Amino acid sequence: MINTPRRAAIYARVSTEGQFLDNQLRELRAVSDRAGWTIVAEHVDTASGATAKRAGLDRMLADAARRKFDTVLVWDVSRLARSLRDLVDIFETLRALKIDLVIHQSGIDTQTPAGIAMMQMSGVFAQFERAMIVERTKAGMARARARGAQIGRAPVGDGTVAAIRSLRASGLSMDRIARDLKIGKGVSQRVCQAFDREQGVAQ
């Protein structure tokens, strides 16, 4: 039986036009060569970490869904994800497709038990991070009610706005944010749309 080499895809990103992808690509190609893998695709983006739309990442995930490769190579976790929640979502997507993830600078390789454990712990931390945002917001609203402040259709407080923006940055939908924070969908939509415009996301 002939063992075919694993097929690898590279994803690389820089934040500005003034930066260069060459160093990331060169090192990740070397990682693939040392492992005896075949690089079948290289997807790149020039976009800040806060930018919601990244065409290269979208193409990489689309190719993953088509099972065009077995492993994804990235230089660093900050190149791949905008937040911890975003990282876990990408990891879960790849894991469901039985595609491994190698994060070079972090030494994470989901082909190993240690790499899988690390990513699972990241999932726990992401859930904790989101739960704490929700808990702080609810506590703030409870204190406001205790002082006799109106909660509901009154102007949205800074704490709630900050929580909505943070959850939006982590990739949650407007409806999900409204459910998690127990606020009106109109409030969530208004703050999220303003946040998206700031990030340059098409409406």
- Active site amino acids: 15
Nearest to 73 by CA among 116, 30, 136, 127: 30
186 with 153: CB under 8 angstroms? no
Residue ranges of E strands in 98-200: 100-103, 108-109
CA distances from 18 to 47, 49, 160, 180 (A): 11, 15, 36, 39
Copy the structure tokens of residue 188.
């969530």
